[in-house]
Amino acid sequence: MLFLIALICGALSAFAFAPTNLWPLMPLALAGLCELAWRSRSLRQSLAVGWGFGLGQFCLGLNWIQFAFTFQDKMPHWLGYLAVLLLSLYLAVYPMLATGLAWRFRGERPVALVLTLAGAWTITEWLRATMFTGFAWNPLGVVLDSTDLLHTAAYIGTYGLSALVVLAAGMLWLFTRREWKPGLAILLAIVLLHFPPVPSLAAATGKQVRVVQPNIGQEVKWTPGFGDIAAQRLAQLSALPGGRHPRLLLWPEAAVTDPLEDARTDQHQAFASFERTRATALVGPGEDLLTGGIALFSKDGMFIDGAANSVFVLGPGGRELARYDKAHLVPYGEYLPMRPLLSAIGLSRLAPGDVDFTSGPGPRTIAIPGWGKVGFQLCYEIIFSGDVVDRRNRPDFIFNPSNDAWFGSWGPPQHLAQARLRAAEEGIPVIRSTPTGISAVVDAHGEIVNALPWRTAGVIDASLPPPVAAPTLFARFGNVIPLLLGLALLIGGIVLGVRRR
């Protein structure tokens, strides 16, 4: 019975995330988890409770993954539901471990369970983002993006915000148990952590950007002959009047589906040059284009032996100024793990093609004359807290092109919410361009300056927001801060529990 109730609580908590954004459901559901853990009669039962909570939350919150399987006809589409379930069965291990630790060291004091759960959740959530290539999607802290606590991410990061969510839930639970003093102490701590936004350099940079959202769905993106239609649509939107020149054009991930760089024969290289020239037909003097595209590698000049999912910096006439290669690749989306085994049983990549992408070196800052220093995070990379910028060469803004057309209606707003957290943590604006939405300009405090709705074609003309005046506390120390906070809460909870015994 406790497992079933935990499963329901976890499913309800998923509605705290975007797109529903019913954020109070998260502390309420976690308060229920505290009660279930307290009532557990054994470590095994407490582990089952935590696992059930995580299973309910992930199965519902990650439903968008199933949608991605509808675009791969080489595999039955029902595998998408199985993929969500299998992934959730694994991801639920992390809240299971946090709940088990909280029960094991609770002692006779409810506040010990709360502190231990908050600390353990912080640490296990970070582990979820790092183990086995990591899957950092939907940390608890992201539900606070519509509250004033968003600014606190600049100091304690996303996983620190997750600790606050668990503490708020614990406070509610303590009040139901008439544990007034520890409940009020937690409430006071949360109030004191309402830090003000870090000051920005200026009101605006005066540099004009145009974000293009062509509303090209995944169902037509890779169909033969659609490349010309896509190029025409991108050109029409890029040519719309508005804004001041010069401007920086920003196109989505894989906006150009044919290779923009091809190391094979002269003919292949000429075709890639044609694609670059066509893409920059409307790029005038003093302007540049940042666009997602594909680079193909060949050692012998004949056969493809690798590829990169990239962002190209293109100047007038198709001149290639720089290229960023995606580093954090998506298993099954951009490469097939254990390819000889899985391909033999009929599995394949979700994206078209049989060539696996090669990962790039990681966060990189590229200086673009006239526009400053740009950091790049391609699609999924933006969800990894503390791993989105080159700290030795801090950028002025982050460009995050993405192809959220894979993600149904739940994925895009969840993706945007996590991009907002990266902006707030690092104190750096984030600009997102996606083919179907949600494209947005996010300022250095994580606030949305402008956005285009899902499934809408259009452009955003905006002045590039400035970064904060100095690197945030989180930008200086990264996830060391939330991990120390989590460790302090964990040790505090354990000490309280053991002393009372």
Dihedral sign (CA 284, 289, 294, 296): positive
Whether omega before 19 lies within 30 degrees of 0, making that bond cis, reads yes
- Residues 123, 240 share a domain: no
**Does 30 reside within a domain?**
yes
| 216 and 183 belong to one structural domain | no
Matching residue, tokens 């993954």? 65
DSSP 303: S
In this prediction, residue 498 carries a pLDDT of 79
Give the pairing type, strands 365-368 and 372-376. antiparallel
Q: What's the rounded Cα separation, in Å, for the pair 180 and 410? A: 38
In a domain, 373, yes or no: yes
How much is the pLDDT for 365? 95
Question: Does a structural domain hold residue 203?
Answer: no
> Any alpha helices (H) in 284-374, and if so which ranges?
339-344
Q: Which residues are catalytic?
A: 253, 326, 379
Pair (112, 251) in one structural domain: no
Residue 280 is encoded by which pair of tokens?
A: 């920059």
Among 343, 381, 383, residue whose Cα is nearest residue 364:
381
Same domain, 234 and 252: yes
CA distances from 456 to 96, 236, 439 (A): 40, 15, 10
Q: Would you tell me how many other CB atoms lie within 10 Å of the CB of residue 200? A: 17
346: tokens are 């009929």
Looking at residue 393, its pLDDT comes to 94
Mean pLDDT of residues grouped by 10 in the chain (501 residues)? 94 96 96 96 95 97 84 66 89 97 90 96 96 92 91 95 97 94 91 76 76 85 77 88 79 89 86 89 90 87 83 93 88 53 46 69 92 93 94 95 88 96 96 94 95 94 90 95 96 83 49
What domain range is 115 assigned to?
Answer: 2-198+478-500
DSSP result, 463-500: EPPP-BSS--HHHHHTTHHHHHHHHHHHHHHHHHHHHH
Pair of tokens at residue 389: 């910028």
Contact by Cβ (8 Å): 10, 29: yes
**Token pair of 384, please?**
């990894």
- Residue with token string 């959740």: 121
- Dist. CA 204–CA 359, nearest whole Å: 35
Indicate whether 462 and 323 sit together in one domain: yes
| Kind of pairing between the strands at 430-433 and 397-401 | parallel
**CB-based burial, 328-340: b 16+ in 10 Å, e otherwise:** bbbebbbbbeeee
d(CA 342, CA 14): 31
Residues 370 and 401 in one domain: yes
User: How many other CB atoms sit within 10 Å of the CB of residue 411?
Assistant: 24
- Same domain? For 176 and 246 the reply is no
Residue-wise over 3-21: b if at least 16 C-beta within 10 A, else e?
bebbbebbbbbbbbbbbee
Q: What's the domain count of the chain?
A: 2
Q: Are residues 387 and 487 in the same domain?
A: no
What pLDDT does residue 68 have? 74
**Residue 109 and residue 237 share a domain:** no
The rounded distance, in Å, linking the Cα atoms of 167 and 189 is 9
Q: Between 25-39 and 93-104, two packed helices, what is the crossing angle to 10 degrees?
A: 50
Q: Is 348 among the domain residues?
A: yes
Per-residue model confidence (pLDDT) at position 244: 62
Instruction: State residue 312 phi and psi, 5-degree precision.
Output: -105, 135
Residue 363: give its domain's CATH number: 3.60.110.10
What pLDDT, on the 0 to 100 scale, is given for residue 340? 46
pLDDT tens profile 41-76? 999 999 999 999 999 999 999 999 888 777 665 666
Do 147 and 293 belong together in one domain? no
Same domain, residue pair 25 and 8: yes
- Tell me: do 252 and 376 sit in the same domain: yes
Q: Show the tokens assigned to 124.
A: 């296990």
